[in-house]
Chains A and B, each alone.
Chain A
Amino acid sequence: MNGAATENFITSGLPLAIALVPILAAALVPLAGRFGDRYRNILVLLITGLVLVFSVSLLRQVFVQGEVLSQFSVGFGDLPLYFRVDRLGAVFNLISALVWFLATVFSLSYMTHESRHNRYYVFYLLTLGGCLGVFLTADLFSLFFFFEIMSFASYLLVIHTQSEEAMKAGRLYLYLGVFGGLCILAAAIMIYWFTGTVELTPMLEQLLLLPARTLVAILLVIGFGIKAGMVPLHIWLPKAHPVAPAPASALLSGIMIKTGAYGIARVATVIYTPEAAETAGLWAYTQQMGFVLIWFGILTMSTAAFMALFQGNAKRLLAYSSVSQMGYILMGIGAAAYLGFEGPMALGGFTLHVVNHAFFKAGMFMMVGAVYFRTGEIELSRLGGLWRDFPVTTVVFLFAAMGIAGIPLLNGYTSKVLLHHAIVEAYELHDSYALYIAERIFMLTGAMTTCYIARLFSSIFLGEKPAGLTVKGREPWNERLVFLTIGSAIIFIGTNPFLMLRELVGPVVGSFPFDDYRFNYLMNTDFWDVHDLQGMAAIVAMAAVFLVAGNRTALFTRKLPYWLSIEYLLYSPLVRAVMFIYTRSGRILELSVDSFYIQSPRLLTYYCISGQIIDDTVNSGFYATPILLEKTSAGASYLEDQVIRSTGMQIIYIAANVWNTIYDLWAALIKSIFVSIGRALRNIFMFLFKFDYSSRGDERFQTFSISNIDFDLYIVLIVIGAILVTSLLYLL
């Protein structure tokens, strides 16, 4: 059974069409918008519908005939866009296309109260192309290409309202998106450099020889983890998802964060797995990675669920809930990698939970959006009692909420059972006490999830209608249709878990090279096992206790202090420190080198002046000597006059006088020479350094400007010209 289907490749243009049709059609949107809103909406609806049809037929091809390949050369010859769709990718692709189509139908009425429709739909389609491209590509570079298209295009969806808050959230979204993309690119380049290929195939044998293999893995997990909202990289998500228009939030939370999970899944369960299943010894590396991922998943699900309890804004609560649900999905990936060869259960849970989460989270975002559209209110404290006004929404929301809480007979239960089995398998097979604790946290998170979702539902739809809450109309039929579709999907999956297992999960998991025994074990999972039902009942009971206790003490309406947030504790000091260190060091360098260059003329001037002072000192010494001599000789002559009177002495006296006179003359000459040289030097230096721009009283300091430079330059220029002309003549 295993790997049987993977041998069959067929080539088809479908993946290419799915990824590129929306991207190319985005250019047509403004064109259609010129003729009228109606035509544009029809165009967008047609395109998303077309993509949905393509996706369905691609899924059929992949499930029936094996993997689908296609290739398209763009830009460089050596790195074409390369598509390869296996069953996992096809399932992701189909669910995305389906939810996208539903969101388009929902947009038709929702977007009427927003402006800038053309821009919205252009980037809506671009994002669709990018997002689907991620699921269909076969190598990391192509994946990165579509991933970036999605990141950039969805930025425009996030900031669509252009409010202050949206711009701020968008900025974080954009920067982290670019950062994540670059992490992926860096890792892809390392892998490409080392192995010569970036295809998404098992290559652990080669990667183990790469010295930076762990760094590469970390980069990939960070890059995809940012998009997946993995704690602690999730900070953008609770900010960005609530500010977007409701259909865009639904897609951001329902579909786009799945690209991150998909990427991590490819890394942990494909790239970092051994090529040959027999080399069991190598699984140790994958296992370590899985262990870390499990804990990140646990951390993500529990902290985000905890945060969700305290949110007062309905959309932000849903955003935290998305982070928390991504924790389940990440844990599934982690468990799949941890169990390695024996991980069908975890991978199955992962696949099913992705599908389920897409339905209920996208649905809930749209339903909250529908309420917001008609009431203008998003704060839970100011909503309530709306079940009368929105009957369809209330019922579907109830199903979606019970789905996310994991109530049996609804879809969330099925995938949570699989995930729970996976984590139980993980600690039983490896006898790990740490994972036993992880399993307990998993259960606790389930309780918190039930609690916050019950709180959300009851504060919007149940209870008293607050004063001042006006409802403008009901949800129109297109919205009801969307909600009913989602609701029926939720119920269908929930009531037919065995069908889903056989038709969807089984084939997907079967295309991975897993242990046959474990695979059959997955296929024979009993969803209605009494232990699981008991666990579920315990969770609901715990949640009820939480909810009652929380409501009694008004605990959930409190705001968590800002200084507890990871931004305050870690990111913002880190960013500030890095910024400070780099800009400061640059500035210090600038100032010091600048002052060296700028001050050098001035320093030279000072140097000259100090030279002058030395000169003067020496000179004065030089002149003081004869005076001293004169004094001495005068004293001597006085002595002579008084004491010694002889002709011999007279002669000596005259001779000394004559020598004195000669010496005086000589000294005067020296003095004049030194003074004039000094003055000349000083003038020259002053002339040269009249560049010195700070005013020092001398006007010449400031007049070196365009008004008097040109004459000098003409001389330079004419000389150069003359040289060239003469040489030319000389040559001729």
Chain B
Amino acid sequence: MNLAYPQPIIAVLVPVIGAIIIRFLDEDQVRERHMVALFSIGIVFLAVASMLPAVLAERVIELRMIEFFEGLGIYFKIDPLGLVFGLVSSTLWVFATVYSIGYMAHEHDQRNYFVFFVLSCSAAMGVAFAGNLFTLYIFYEYLAICTYPLVVHAGTAESVKAGIKYISYSLGGGALVFISIFMIHDLVGTLDFMPGGILGGVAGDSRTLVMIIFILLIAGFGTKAAIMPLHSWLPGAMVAPTPVSALLHAVAIVKAGVFGIARVFFSIFGRELLVDMNMIINILAVFVCFTIIVGSFMAIKQTVLKLRLAYSTIGQLGYITLGVLLLTPAGVLGGLVHIINHAVLKITLFFCAGMIITVTGKKNLDQLHGVGRQLPLTMLAFSIGALGLMGVMPIAGYISKYYILTGSLDAGLPIFAYVILGSTLLNAIYYLPIIVSAFFKEGEFEKQPGYEAPLTMLVPTIALAVAGILFGLFANYTTIPFIEAVLKTIF
């Protein structure tokens, strides 16, 4: 136990302190509040980023905090997978904080918003750096609870209703994880994540039990990963303010679910065991394919921009899960790299949706004809994000699709390749009309120079859109090396 690397604790604690400070500031101390929020999130980002060299050098960073009893305690351990999630979340949190400052400028109750916005960062970091299932569970629940006030921030009857839905789903999923924690602890006596899995040794004797644990864990984390039929909270939670939708429902929360699934797969069960259990994996794959296809179809039906993005998220999360459960190097690489690519591109889309709402007040798609004339930069960024997620060449999304496709062929299951390609068509059907009608249809919008959203919102969006292109063009130098470091621990 050493403190050569105190970064995990900093990443978890600093936002808590920041949140407390914000809580004790006055509602009208706007400047100070923004400073504290930005500062604490910035520190988190720096702390996470500073661990990068050590992790890439395959050094172990671990902090065993408290042990309630044998094998059950708070324990941080940083491995490449956790660092990828932590780095993506904290980076995007910085962008989202800047964006929030612009977006929330005219909203009520900003103090509360920022308290929980900063606080959820700590929870996300805890999820990323958890070293055992118990810690993961604690922070997973913590994340659900402290994002609840953000979801219901509008305070309307609709948002309260959505909040109830959100919290019931989250806690329900958490409960399933909780049950499985005790089953695993009973079975092997430890909950620590190991590169090769911890259940491999006992699987021979208690096959049924392992199967039940698998189902419980997947159902538990699958709730957050929005695997159908557990997805319905996600579109519901779109009543939240847009930066929250962007960050939490395209990046942190849903990715925590996917990350949880990846963790469970590779650190609890281990690859060999999963390959043995191929029947249940195939059943899960059917569910995931169903999610991808049906989610995309549902997205076509939506007429509200944010809802369409939400259903698109459901389909895209399906790609990640699909890639991970292919269990071939290319598939896992594609799935995990899609965590990054989807995060960057989808947050861009949500930011654009938020800017459209802020500037024009329009939410429905049929009100957005010709909006590209008034907000050219916004819609340009939107087009980049949408085309990227469709898989158009130089933008990041095609990389993940390509690797998942290769992975499914490596696994000898070309059917998944067809699912991906079919859903690409559906992606095109629900994204292209938005772009086309924004630029080429006549609407009520006129060309008004200088009428874009404020810079605090525009700059992060454009920066992320550019990042999306860079991650596509230079994938081999930006995203892929991280994921390859992750793969080294798995295969």
Could you tell me the distance in whole angstroms from the C-beta of B311 to the nearest C-beta in chain A? 9
A182 within 8 A of B: yes
Could you tell me the distance in whole angstroms from the C-beta of A727 to the nearest C-beta in chain B? 4
Report chain B residues within 8 Å CB of A730. Answer: 66
B50 within 8 A of A: no
Contact between chains at A724 and B9 (CB < 8 Å): yes
Nearest residue (CB) in B for A732 is: B3
Contact between chains at B119 and A717 (CB < 8 Å): yes
Given contacts A167-B441, A190-B414, A705-B152, contact A587 B298 (CB under 8 A): yes
Contact between chains at B421 and A710 (CB < 8 Å): no
In angstroms, Cα B232 to Cα A592, docked, is: 10
Contact segment of A171-179, A394-402, A561-569? A171-179
Given contacts A583-B301, A693-B161, A706-B149, contact A597 B229 (CB under 8 A): no
Contact between chains at B74 and A727 (CB < 8 Å): yes
Report chain A residues within 8 Å CB of B454. Answer: none
B148 within 8 A of A: yes
Residues in A539-582 with C-beta less than 8 Å from chain B: 579, 582
Contact between chains at A590 and B146 (CB < 8 Å): no
Given contacts A583-B301, A586-B295, A710-B115, contact A731 B1 (CB under 8 A): yes
In angstroms, Cα B8 to Cα A637, docked, is: 83
B409 within 8 A of A: yes
Residues in A224-250 with C-beta less than 8 Å from chain B: none
In angstroms, Cα B229 to Cα A721, docked, is: 36
A159 within 8 A of B: yes
Contact between chains at B298 and A713 (CB < 8 Å): no
Could you tell me the distance in whole angstroms from the C-beta of A673 to the nearest C-beta in chain B? 32
Could you tell me the distance in whole angstroms from the C-beta of A101 to the nearest C-beta in chain B? 28
Interface size class of B (residues with CB under 8 A): 35 or more
Contact between chains at B112 and A710 (CB < 8 Å): yes
Residues in B127-172 with C-beta less than 8 Å from chain A: 142, 145-146, 148-149, 152-153, 155, 157, 160-161, 163-165, 167-169, 172
B491 within 8 A of A: no
Given contacts A182-B425, A716-B145, A728-B9, contact A583 B298 (CB under 8 A): yes
Contact between chains at A720 and B142 (CB < 8 Å): yes
Contact between chains at B232 and A693 (CB < 8 Å): no
B423-437 to A contact mask, C-beta < 8 Å, 1/0: 011001100110010
In angstroms, Cα B116 to Cα A714, docked, is: 10
In angstroms, Cα B24 to Cα A718, docked, is: 14
Report chain A residues within 8 Å CB of B451. Answer: none
Contact between chains at A713 and B229 (CB < 8 Å): no
Report chain A residues within 8 Å CB of B164. Answer: 598, 691-693
Could you tell me the distance in whole angstroms from the C-beta of B328 to the nearest C-beta in chain A? 12
Contact between chains at B148 and A174 (CB < 8 Å): no
Could you tell me the distance in whole angstroms from the C-beta of A540 to the nearest C-beta in chain B? 45
In angstroms, Cα B161 to Cα A162, docked, is: 42
Report chain B residues within 8 Å CB of A693. Answer: 157, 160-161, 164
Report chain A residues within 8 Å CB of B148. Answer: 709
In angstroms, Cα B232 to Cα A175, docked, is: 28
Contact between chains at B145 and A175 (CB < 8 Å): no
B405 within 8 A of A: yes
Residue B231 contacts which of A178, A185, A590, A727 (CB distance < 8 angstroms)? A590
B35 within 8 A of A: no
A594 within 8 A of B: yes
Residue B421 contacts which of A185, A193, A212, A601 (CB distance < 8 angstroms)? A185
Contact between chains at B16 and A731 (CB < 8 Å): no
A64 within 8 A of B: no
A50 within 8 A of B: no
Contact between chains at B155 and A713 (CB < 8 Å): no
Contact between chains at A174 and B297 (CB < 8 Å): no
B258 within 8 A of A: no
Could you tell me the distance in whole angstroms from the C-beta of A239 to the nearest C-beta in chain B? 16
B201-219 to A contact mask, C-beta < 8 Å, 1/0: 0000000000000000000
Contact between chains at A162 and B442 (CB < 8 Å): yes
Report chain B residues within 8 Å CB of A77. Answer: 476
Interface of A, helix, strand, loop or mixed by DSSP: helix
In angstroms, Cα B429 to Cα A179, docked, is: 10
A145 within 8 A of B: yes
Report chain A residues within 8 Å CB of B161. Answer: 693
Contact between chains at B432 and A713 (CB < 8 Å): no
Report chain A residues within 8 Å CB of B402. Answer: 76
Contact between chains at A193 and B414 (CB < 8 Å): yes
Given contacts A582-B294, A724-B65, contact A159 B155 (CB under 8 A): no
Contact between chains at A720 and B16 (CB < 8 Å): yes
In angstroms, Cα B129 to Cα A298, docked, is: 66
A75 within 8 A of B: yes
Report chain A residues within 8 Å CB of B352. Answer: none
Residues in B275-320 with C-beta less than 8 Å from chain A: 293-295, 297-298, 300-301
Could you tell me the distance in whole angstroms from the C-beta of B43 to the nearest C-beta in chain A? 16
Given contacts A75-B394, A186-B421, A598-B164, contact A721 B13 (CB under 8 A): yes
Nearest residue (CB) in A for B297 is: A582
A589 within 8 A of B: yes
Residues in A74-120 with C-beta less than 8 Å from chain B: 75-77
Report chain A residues within 8 Å CB of B167. Answer: 691
Given contacts A587-B298, A593-B229, A727-B65, contact A171 B417 (CB under 8 A): no
In angstroms, Cα B273 to Cα A490, docked, is: 71
In angstroms, Cα B429 to Cα A727, docked, is: 53
Nearest residue (CB) in A for B162 is: A693
Contact between chains at A717 and B160 (CB < 8 Å): no
A189 within 8 A of B: yes
Given contacts A716-B145, A723-B66, contact A189 B405 (CB under 8 A): yes
Report chain B residues within 8 Å CB of A65. Answer: none
B185 within 8 A of A: no
In angstroms, Cα B74 to Cα A212, docked, is: 52
Nearest residue (CB) in B for A180 is: B425
Residue A582 contacts which of B1, B146, B293 (CB distance < 8 angstroms)? B293
Contact between chains at A586 and B228 (CB < 8 Å): yes
Contact between chains at B149 and A709 (CB < 8 Å): yes
In angstroms, Cα B104 to Cα A614, docked, is: 52
Report chain B residues within 8 Å CB of A190. Answer: 414, 417
Most buried by B among A175, A593, A692, A717: A717
Report chain B residues within 8 Å CB of A182. Answer: 421-422, 424-425
B124 within 8 A of A: no
Report chain B residues within 8 Å CB of A171. Answer: 433, 436
Could you tell me the distance in whole angstroms from the C-beta of A30 to the nearest C-beta in chain B? 13
In angstroms, Cα B297 to Cα A77, docked, is: 35
Contact between chains at A706 and B393 (CB < 8 Å): no
In angstroms, Cα B301 to Cα A354, docked, is: 42
In angstroms, Cα B393 to Cα A148, docked, is: 10
In angstroms, Cα B33 to Cα A308, docked, is: 71
Could you tell me the distance in whole angstroms from the C-beta of A227 to the nearest C-beta in chain B? 15
Residue A706 contacts which of B19, B65, B155, B233 (CB distance < 8 angstroms)? B155
Report chain B residues within 8 Å CB of A592. Answer: 229
Contact between chains at B232 and A710 (CB < 8 Å): no
Given contacts A145-B393, A189-B405, contact A713 B146 (CB under 8 A): yes
Report chain A residues within 8 Å CB of B152. Answer: 705-706
A600 within 8 A of B: yes
Report chain B residues within 8 Å CB of A179. Answer: 425
B163-207 to A contact mask, C-beta < 8 Å, 1/0: 111011100100000000000000000000000000000000000
Residue A585 contacts which of B16, B294, B300 (CB distance < 8 angstroms)? B294
Residues in A669-696 with C-beta less than 8 Å from chain B: 691-693
In angstroms, Cα B146 to Cα A55, docked, is: 65
In angstroms, Cα B12 to Cα A95, docked, is: 66
Given contacts A212-B414, A724-B65, contact A175 B429 (CB under 8 A): yes
A-B contact pairs, 26 of them (CB 8 A): A77-B476, A162-B440, A162-B441, A167-B436, A175-B425, A178-B428, A182-B424, A185-B421, A189-B421, A582-B293, A583-B301, A587-B298, A590-B231, A597-B168, A597-B232, A597-B233, A693-B164, A702-B160, A704-B160, A710-B112, A710-B115, A713-B145, A724-B9, A724-B13, A724-B74, A727-B66
Shortest 8 CB-CB contacts between residues of A and residues of B: A582-B297, A589-B229, A586-B294, A193-B409, A590-B232, A727-B65, A178-B428, A597-B168
